[in-house]
Structure 1
Amino acid sequence: MLHIYICEDEEVQLNRIRDMITEYIADLRIDARIVAARQDPEEIMAELHDNCQPAVFFIDVQLDGYDMDGFDLARRLKWLNSEYAVVFLTSSDHLAYKVFEYNLEVLDYVVKEPEYFQQKGIHEGLRKRLDRIFEKLNSLCDKKNKTSIAFACGGKVTDVITEDIIYVQSVAGKHQAEVYLDNRVITVRQSMKYIYEQLSEDFIYANKSCIVNKSKMRELDKKERFLHLEGGFRVEVSYRELNGIAKFMLSNR
């Protein structure tokens, strides 16, 4: 179940936002519940002492009258658990863009338009925004349920869903490898041996410098020793690996 937390300094807006999100998750039968709706950010932090569920936080940017603003609260939450999802609530587009200036990894933001609070039920504009937010949350949950591998790319670490990898090829003369996905190539600094050990049994060597995803194999040319992969890729197969790949492909037809 997804846990929802709301932090908004204005009581009237807090209650309306809570009611609208409650109505939204009920209408769509989303497996979620509002755990806390508070004006004080410290009370939000206090609610998290034993939380181990996926969580999203709707946080007002300004939080007037408190020792921390929404940006400070978001930083503390991300430090506590980097997988927490944060949605900022703001009355100004200008404040929303500061999210990017502060390099905060947030899911989305909602500009609190006056008309959102002037009618019963959920305003259509807000409903569309919530559709977008919960669609992103679903994608995040799906991603967390899939196996991933962490690659060192330059000065940062990138997580890649294992099943999205088509093949991995070492770079000749360098302590690098290239990870081929359907829409990009990532250059990493791990050895082929290390990468192969991190991958599941769904991968196989095509040759000593190339590892392929078994599910991405499409056609094997045994005479020319070329393996055709999903996405139009083609890799050479060594004599040593040829029979093993052929046997696997025949058994999975």
Structure 2
Amino acid sequence: MLPVYICDDDENQLQHFNKLVSNTIMIEDMDASIVCTTSSPYQLLSYLTEHKTPSLYFLDVNLNTSIDGFALAREIRKYDPRGFIVFVTVHSELSYLSFKYKVEAMDYIIKSDSKDISSRIRECILKALELYTLPTNTIQKAIALKIDGRIISMKLPDIYCIETSVEAHKIRIYKRNGYTELFYSLKKIVKLLDESFFQCHKSCIINLSHVKEVNIKNCLVILENGKVCPVATRIVKSLALKLNMNIP
């Protein structure tokens, strides 16, 4: 089911838009659900940090807070790099700012165009659902890490494993050829990963789709790029079973 967020500082507009979206989902019997309707961008972000999954966002541009809709969208991208963002506003002249902020908006709906708004909402939800339900090998999932004021984006299928570095407070993210070392922790990054990843040891997380072999006797896993990772003794057999490998 596709989660839907709505944020508008005007309470009347917020409830009106919530009703339009809700009716569209119900009448069309769409596999979507409104999970957050709020006038506060901070409340939206608070909810989002606890429910990290690709979602559809309808955002007003002028939120009358310290951050506007574009800045909110940029924050959303840190937690949901593959989400679908739609700006809803009376300020048609500000549409160019969505490009300036580099937030990849799906659409820009003008509130004053009452005849068109319902059909535009419908089109946005249908398009988001179409993309949301595509196989994961068609749309590659990604994570966005905020480090020293920079946003580093990585596609999950490209990651083979992640392990703690010999240098304190750092991790190594291994791809096919070599690795990237960053100031981050396994505890934090594991929360951003999907079900294709498995923490096989307190010091290592592996991508199950890149496992070549599990050595049960020596408690090791060998990845397709030749990288060898330790596996905790208590879970080595369950890892082999998870990968549908024969256990001698």
* Shorter-chain TM-score tier: 0.5 to 0.7
Q: Percent identity?
A: 29
Q: Alignment partner of 1:107: what SS?
A: strand
Alpha-carbon distance between aligned partners in 2 of 1:149 and 1:72, rounded to the nearest angstrom: 25
Aligned residue runs from structure 1 range 141-160, under 5 A? 141-147=132-138
Post-superposition CA distance 1:67-115 (Å, at most 9, x none): 11111110111011201211111102111222123322111121111x6
**Other structure's SS at 2:82 match:** coil
The residue correspondences of 1:198-209 to structure 2 (distance < 5 A) are: none
Deviation string 1:121-158 (CA, Å, 9 cap, x unpaired) is xx4x12221232123213312435335679xxxxxx99
CA contact (8 A) 1:90 1:96 kept: no
Equivalence map 1:163-174=2 (5 Å) = none
Q: Which residue of 2 aligns with 1:68?
A: 67
Distance 2:139 2:91 in 1: 37
Alpha-carbon contact 1:4-1:36 (below 8 Å) kept: yes
C-alpha contact 2:52 2:80 (8 A) present in aligned 1: no
Residues 49 and 101 (structure 1 numbering): CA distance in 2 closer, same or farther, change over 3 Å?
closer
Match of residue 127, structure 2, among 122, 136, 140? 136
Say which structure, 1 or 2, has more relative contact order (CA 8 Å, 6+ apart): 2
Structure 2: stretches of 5+ with no match in the other structure: 142-152, 156-175, 178-208, 210-248
Aligned residues: 148
User: Structure 1 19/149 Cα, relative in aligned 2: closer, same or farther at 3 Å?
Assistant: closer
Unmatched 5+ residue regions in structure 1?
117-122, 151-156, 160-189, 192-197, 199-253
Q: Flag the structure with larger Rg.
A: 1
Cα pair 1:22 1:34 within 8 Å, conserved? yes
Q: Distance in 2 between matches of 1:148 and 1:10?
A: 35
Q: Distance in 2 between matches of 1:148 and 1:72?
A: 25
Instruction: Please tell me whether residue 98 in structure 1 is matched to residue 97 in structure 2.
Output: yes
1:24 paired with 2:19, answer no
Q: TM-score, normalised by structure 2?
A: 0.53
Q: Which amino acid aligns with 2:27?
A: D
Counterpart Cα distance in 1 of 2:52 and 2:9: 26
Mapped to 2, the partners of 1:60 and 1:148 lie a distance apart of 27
Cα distance, 1:53 vs structure 2: 3.6
Aligned partners of 1:148, 1:18: CA distance in 2, in Å? 28
Could you report, residue by residue, the CA deviation over 1:17-58 in whole angstroms, capped at 9, with x for unpaired residues? 001110010000011111111111001111123214431111
**Is residue 3–residue 55 contact of structure 2 (8 Å, CA) maintained in 1?**
yes
SS in 2 for 1:47: helix
